[in-house]
């Protein structure tokens, strides 16, 4: 009965999140706002419909992990190194500076020293799940300020383990300096072991299975491999005592080096969406509207101090290591909230270091700042630009995306003989050619020829979005199956309505359907073959006309 009750709670939570998320989108707000409100309304502090909050909390933690697994797939180790030491050093400075400044403020406000330090650690963390999810939806992960924000968030996630140790020690669960040092060393060793194990798995075992094993050509088994990769790395990290989200991110990061990253990301998209929705809804359950209304002035001051203070500290931390003023400030604004991992620190400190009143203030501030996150992320570039203009600082213009290559982008879907010819011809004309194919062998061949290539099914929206189809002016669809080509063209018309789409029509009878789907040009193979055959025969007739006519004439006589 309890299991069915948990399922009922989950269905109720998702249904309410669906309604309020759709309403938020209708009002041109982020769906995340609706998810948070759904949790708040159904949680124990309002209507109390959702009772098994422990099960919901587990699903929420999985949601964060799968979200970071997907982010890791987008950010290979090569791209992570490209974030630069300055951004990563700025992230470390932000964590330390925010902890000390917030601790000093809490101490001045009357909190004991140990409690003040715990509060500083709680406030230092921002919401990786919220910021990266919204940036991904807004296609700003490639922006300059998006890279800075990502670097700081990754450093914060790495800092979760030492911060939990710090708060635990302050709460009296530590056993002295030597024991703490031994525990930290053990955690570091476990992290290294997990990373080494995942590296071997994703660089040697998984590619072998996908290329040569029974998984080749079987989409169902491929999806299962993707889910085992994401969930397995999360469980492994949890079992060895490190952050599950960090383990999932490392797994995605390592798997992102393989040509299968795009398809794996698409295969995990649906389940990731489910868990991420539960995550934001579960965070909303911590909110207590009656407490917020009764203490609205204190809460407002706290939220304002957190948003402004964290934004400024992150800005100054990034600037200290050479980040441009505008992009550093925009990144700082994006990070002006209390994060999901702060709830772990709150639970450790509750009742031992901090009172229930302070706990409720921190939790309420976290919920409110998460509600503000979609607006902070969307407003960050404008706020930074206006402030820089006001201060009359000469800085490089803040753009929403990193400068793209001046070469025109061409996406070739299908790398069979026809797709290969298209790709080679486009490259000769100076285009930046990106190849997408479901066959790992063809993708490997494309990479050997120097093309950017990924394994993926173009019938998945997530795959096309990851390859940046919205910014691709030319698309060639050369897949041999007409029905698949029609589905791909339909999806391209939705995602990239301005793109010039040229499609291979293998059979004449599918030509009208492909053109109706939205292809700018459809080349009918049967007609083209007929024309080429006719051209060859005409050329033969023109060159051998007399030789051909003589036997006909003799036969007539």
pLDDT confidence bin for 236, thresholds 50/70/90:
confident
Q: What percent of the chain has pLDDT over 90?
A: 19
**pLDDT at residue 401 in the model:** 43
Q: What is the mean pLDDT of residues 225-239?
A: 75
Enumerate the domain spans of the chain: 2-390, 409-540
C-alpha span between 475 and 485 (Å, rounded): 12
Look at strands 409-413 and 474-477 and give their pairing. Answer: parallel
The two structure tokens encoding residue 45: 């502090």
**pLDDT at residue 27 in the model:** 78
pLDDT confidence bin for 189, thresholds 50/70/90:
confident
Is the pLDDT at 394 greater than 60? The verdict is: no
Which candidate, 456, 416, 466, places its Cα nearest to that of 436? 456
Q: What is the mean pLDDT of residues 143-161?
A: 82
- Only one residue has tokens 């600082």, namely 393
C-alpha span between 354 and 350 (Å, rounded): 5
Q: What is the mean pLDDT of residues 121-150?
A: 82
Give the pLDDT confidence of 247-295 residue by residue, as tens digits.
777 777 777 666 666 667 677 667 667 777 887 787 788 788 899 999 9
**Across 33-42, 117-126, 203-212, 505-514, least confident range:** 203-212
Give the pLDDT confidence of 44-87 residue by residue, as tens digits.
888 888 765 666 667 667 767 776 676 677 665 666 666 667 77
Q: What is the mean pLDDT of residues 303-330?
A: 90
**pLDDT at residue 251 in the model:** 77
Which of left, alpha, beta for 477 (phi over 0: left; psi -120 to 50: alpha)?
beta
The two structure tokens encoding residue 132: 């990266």
- Whether this prediction's pTM lies above 0.75 is answered by no
Q: What is the mean pLDDT of residues 440-467?
A: 83
Looking at per-residue pLDDT, the higher value among 492 and 382 belongs to: 492
C-alpha span between 366 and 360 (Å, rounded): 10
**pLDDT at residue 399 in the model:** 46
**pLDDT at residue 365 in the model:** 92
pLDDT confidence bin for 216, thresholds 50/70/90:
low
Q: Are 234 and 247 in contact (CB under 8 A)?
A: yes
**pLDDT at residue 108 in the model:** 93
pLDDT confidence bin for 100, thresholds 50/70/90:
very high
Give the pLDDT confidence of 488-504 residue by residue, as tens digits.
888 888 888 888 999 99
- Only one residue has tokens 């998460």, namely 370
φ, ψ at 140 (rounded to 5°): -110, 5
Residue 471 is given by DSSP the state G
Q: Are 434 and 412 in contact (CB under 8 A)?
A: yes
**pLDDT at residue 99 in the model:** 94
Domain 409-540 in CATH 3.40.250.10 = no
**pLDDT at residue 405 in the model:** 46
Record: fold of 2-390: Na+/H+ antiporter like fold (1.20.1530)
Looking at per-residue pLDDT, the higher value among 236 and 486 belongs to: 486
């Amino acid at each position: 009965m309890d299991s069915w009750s948990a399922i009922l709670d989950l269905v109720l939570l998702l249904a309410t999140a669906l309604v309020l998320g759709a309403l938020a989108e209708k009002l041109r707000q982020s769906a995340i706002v609706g998810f948070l409100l759904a949790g708040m309304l159904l949680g124990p502090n309002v209507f109390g419909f959702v009772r098994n909050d422990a099960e919901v909390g587990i699903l929420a933690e999985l949601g964060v992990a799968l979200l970071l697994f997907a982010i890791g797939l987008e950010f290979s180790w090569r791209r992570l190194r490209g974030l630069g030491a300055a951004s990563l050093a700025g992230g470390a400075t932000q964590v330390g500076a925010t902890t000390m400044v917030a601790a000093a403020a809490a101490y001045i406000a009357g909190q004991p020293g140990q409690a003040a330090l715990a509060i500083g650690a709680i406030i230092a963390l921002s919401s990786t799940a919220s910021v990266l999810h919204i940036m991904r939806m807004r296609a700003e992960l490639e922006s300059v300020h998006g890279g800075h924000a990502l670097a700081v968030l990754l450093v914060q996630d790495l800092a979760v383990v030492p911060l939990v140790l710090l708060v635990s020690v302050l709460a009296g669960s530590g056993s002295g300096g030597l024991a703490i040092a031994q525990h930290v060393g053990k955690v570091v060793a476990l992290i290294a072991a997990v990373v080494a194990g995942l590296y071997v798995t994703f660089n040697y075992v998984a590619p072998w299975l996908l290329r040569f094993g029974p998984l080749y050509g079987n989409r169902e088994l491929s999806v299962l491999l993707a889910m085992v990769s994401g969930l397995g790395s999360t469980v492994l990290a949890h079992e060895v005592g490190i952050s599950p989200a960090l383990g999932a991110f490392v797994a995605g990061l390592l798997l992102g080096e393989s040509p299968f990253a795009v398809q794996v990301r698409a295969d995990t998209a649906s389940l990731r969406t489910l868990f991420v929705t539960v995550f934001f809804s579960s965070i909303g359950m911590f909110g207590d509207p009656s407490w917020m209304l009764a203490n609205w002035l204190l809460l407002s001051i706290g939220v304002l101090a957190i948003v402004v203070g964290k934004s400024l500290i992150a800005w100054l931390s990034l600037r200290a290591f050479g980040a441009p003023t505008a992009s550093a400030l925009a990144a700082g604004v994006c990070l002006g909230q209390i994060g999901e991992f702060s709830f772990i620190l709150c639970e450790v400190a509750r009742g031992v270091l901090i009172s229930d009143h302070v706990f409720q203030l921190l939790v309420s501030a976290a919920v409110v700042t998460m509600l503000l996150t979609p607006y902070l992320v969307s407003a960050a570039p404008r706020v930074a630009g206006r402030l820089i203009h006001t201060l009359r600082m000469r800085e490089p213009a803040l753009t929403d995306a990193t400068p793209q290559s001046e070469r025109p982008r061409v996406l070739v879907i299908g790398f069979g003989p026809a797709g290969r010819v298209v790709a080679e011809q486009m490259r000769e004309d100076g285009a930046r050619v990106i190849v997408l194919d479901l066959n790992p062998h063809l993708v490997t061949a494309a990479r050997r020829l120097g093309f950017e290539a990924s394994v993926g099914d173009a019938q998945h929206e997530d795959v096309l979005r990851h390859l940046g189809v919205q910014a691709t002016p030319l698309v060639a669809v050369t897949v041999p199956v007409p029905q698949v080509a029609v589905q791909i063209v339909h999806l391209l018309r939705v995602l990239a309505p301005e793109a010039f789409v040229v499609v291979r029509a293998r059979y004449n009878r599918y030509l009208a359907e492909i053109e109706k789907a939205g292809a700018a040009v459809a080349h009918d193979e049967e007609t083209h073959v007929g024309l080429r055959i006719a051209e060859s025969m005409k050329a033969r007739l023109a060159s051998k006309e007399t030789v051909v006519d003589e036997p006909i004439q003799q036969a007539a006589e």
